[in-house]
Amino acid sequence: MKYENIKAIQELIKSAKFGAVINKSIVAAERAIDDEINAPERKIVQIAESVGKADWSFTALCNDGTVWTCGNGIWEQLPPIPQGDAS
């Protein structure tokens, strides 16, 4: 689940717990859930392997523009690639 979606759901829960007006939070949570349900399946576009003496890893570029690394069977998303001037 995407970080933004989790945050929207957390805000809904916080609003409900404190009795605040929750309409805005409900709308945000509904959008987050809809985005998650309607999100296209992530597919690998390109993959690279790195092998060391004691470890190995894969790095994958996906069709949604995200880059992931897998070392010892654990996948982690890398930070977004900078756009524009990379200085």
Chain segment 30-58, per-residue pLDDT in tens: 777 777 677 678 889 999 988 887 778 88
Please tell me the predicted confidence (pLDDT) of residue 84. 84
**51 plus 33 within the same structural domain:** no
The structural domain count of the chain equals 2
The answer to whether the CB of 11 falls within 8 A of the CB of 18 is no
Please tell me the predicted confidence (pLDDT) of residue 7. 72
**11 plus 26 within the same structural domain:** yes
- Stated as kind and residue range, the H or E segment containing 6 is helix 3-17
Q: For 2-12, what is each residue's pLDDT tens digit?
A: 667 677 777 76
- Stated as kind and residue range, the H or E segment containing 59 is strand 56-62
**33 plus 49 within the same structural domain:** no
- Does residue 26 fall inside a structural domain? yes
**50 plus 25 within the same structural domain:** no
Look at residues 58, 56, 38, 39 and name the one whose alpha carbon lies nearest to residue 48.
58
- Does residue 87 fall inside a structural domain? no
Q: Which domain holds residue 62?
A: 44-77
DSSP secondary-structure letter at 86? -
**32 plus 54 within the same structural domain:** no
